Amino acid sequence: MWGSIVGISLLTILVLIAWRFINWVWVQPKKMEKILRAQGLKGNSYKFLFGDAKETATMYKESYSKPIGIHDDIAPRVMPFISKTVNTYGENSFMWVGPRPLVFIMDAELMKVVMNKHTSFQKSFKISNPVFKRLIGGLIRYEGDQWSKNRKKLNPVFHLDRLRGMVPIMQQECENILNEWKEMVPQDGHALVDVFPYCPDYTGSVVSHSLFSLPFEGTVKRTFNIISELTLLANQAQPFTIPGEQYLPTKKYRRANEIEKEVHGTFSSMINERVDKRNRGETNGEKDLFDLFLDELHEQNPKNNQEREMIVHEIIQQCKLFFIAGYETTSNLVAWTIIMLAAHQDWQARAREEVRKVFGNNKPINADDLMNHLRSLTMILCEVLRLFPPSVEVSRIVEEEISLGQYCIPKGSMVMAPVILLHRNPRIWGDDVLEFKPERFAEGVLKAANGHAAFIPFGWGVRNCIGANLAQWETKVFVTLMLLNFSFELSPTYKHGPLVSLNMQPQYGAPLILRRL
């Protein structure tokens, strides 16, 4: 009798598991597909389990296998399947990320709704591939009160008054790199230098000194580098993975585990050292970003080692986030700005004339001049951010069925705001949308977009990027000093290849011909 009961119970459990699996991979996707098509949305038919993932991965591999022309539209390269879907089915379309439909939101106003209604549209990190999940934590992943509390606490570190004090550090770290280049370039000659590898050293040193009060050397520099390696392993070309595959002993996951273990150990040591200094009263005046993270240990007052480890884990996630954002995101912005100025000599000359007027007599760079007296450089930076936004898209999961414009989006589906397509929409920016024309920003962002609020390189609303001003100030400092010390042009060996890992970077580097001034 008991054997029969156990057998029936096991059979019931197996049937329930089987039904849940079938419901997840077939019944629900087909229901959502029917709902979307009934509203006029178009896309490929759903394919069991993988959806469009296989074709997406194939297209990314093909796209990244060769460079493009510097004046070509980069959208088909950095999001090939999305570009193909929109070209095939129109703007009112969707694709499949595994068993979830992903609806494209192409209207700027609806994009803002998605980014602002964070309770209805949750960030998609929880269904991201396993390596990508390791990268994204802390503030960017928080929701509700947890986000509000942390954002309010961290805002003062990125306030304009605080950024003013960081400018001398930016200048010093930049000059260290420029002096190294001067050693490579003859006084009356020229030299080929790939400037891209130097950009992360610059931004990493600014972040480590300004936000963490740590020298950019040894273990700290290595931590920046291996976190950057993890962003490449995250591979956005693989938007969907089979549940549990991260436990397979593949080369990618073995390396990701090694990096995660090393990063955790390094940050744990940094946390313990800083806590010991604080306990001994060895503080250095105003709290830096690292100190604000560590306040959690004091505020939450863990009762045992398990609670402490949970808090430390969150601190490490916060540190990783700001290492990535301050190191890789900003370095890519610096690199693309330099590349565009190298490709457009007229704007390079115009920007150089401007910075010479402001800083020509070895005048120290200061915040007021950066903000108020570099009009051409500000326009250039806006155009670079339009063409090479730090985030090419914003994806969200629909938590409950919701109306969005004329559409009813079913629960469990996803929506995406393809920022890079918004920034290249000729109806908003004009027929010259693919051209590098900083003058379009001469009368401000709103005028450039013909009255549309369609310039969102750092997000929108209350959850815009907390470090946006820091990234732009760092870029302005570096480009200003480079213009004062060198003229530069693209090397004949330069190959144009925007590539998206966590954000957009030049796949083949940035080899330039430098001449000293």
pLDDT in tens, 13-67: 888 888 998 999 999 999 999 999 999 999 999 999 889 988 998 999 999 999 9
Identify the pLDDT of residue 74: 96
pLDDT digits 0-9 by tens, 201-239: 999 999 999 999 999 999 999 998 888 888 887 765 455
Instruction: Convert the pLDDT of each residue in 496-512 to its tens digit.
Output: 999 987 789 999 999 99
Name the amino acid, one letter, at 197. P
Residue 10 confidence (pLDDT): 83
Q: C-alpha distances in angstroms, 148 versus 85, 120, 129, 139, 457?
A: 37, 16, 27, 9, 22
516 has pLDDT over 90: yes
Mean per-residue pLDDT of the chain: 88
Mean pLDDT lowest among 72-81, 234-243, 393-402, 490-499:
234-243
The pLDDT assigned to 57 comes to 87
Asked if the model's pLDDT at residue 120 lies above 80, the reply is no
The verdict on pTM exceeding 0.75 is yes
Give pLDDT tens digits for 330-342.
999 999 999 999 9
The pLDDT score that the predictor gives to residue 18 is 87
DSSP sequence for 151-180: HHHHGGGGSHHHHHTTHHHHHHHHHHHHHH
Strands 504-506 and 498-500: antiparallel
pLDDT of amino acid 400: 86
pLDDT reported for residue 266: 92
pLDDT one-digit tens code per residue, 442-485: 999 999 999 888 999 988 777 788 889 999 999 999 999 999 99
Q: Alpha carbon of 167 to those of 267, 335, 345, 357, 477: distances in Å? A: 26, 19, 27, 19, 8
pLDDT of residue 85: 96
Q: Which residues pair with 414 in a beta bridge?
A: 102, 397
Q: Pull the structure tokens for residue 512.
A: 């330039």
- pLDDT value for 405: 87
Where is pLDDT greater, at 224 or 384? 384
Tell whether residue 319 is among the known ligand binding residues.
no
Which residue, 283, 287, 471, is CA-closest to 391? Answer: 471
331/503 Cα distance (integer angstroms): 11
pLDDT of residue 462: 73
Pick from 404, 382, 397, 378: nearest CA to 458: 382
pLDDT tens digit sequence for 67-102: 999 999 999 999 999 999 999 999 999 999 989 999
Reduced to 3 states (helix: H, G, I; strand: E, B; else coil), residue 434 is coil
| pLDDT per residue as tens digits for the range 161-180 | 888 989 999 999 999 999 99
Q: What is the pLDDT of residues 257-305, one digit of tens each?
A: 899 899 999 999 999 999 888 888 877 667 888 988 888 888 887 788 8
* pLDDT for residue 463: 75
Nearest partner of 465 among 391, 400, 412, 415, judged by Cα: 391
Three-state SS at 276: helix
CA dist., res. 225 & res. 211, Å (int): 17
**What is the pLDDT at residue 387?**
97
Residue 348 has pLDDT above 80, yes or no: yes
Separation CA 23–CA 484 (nearest Å)? 63
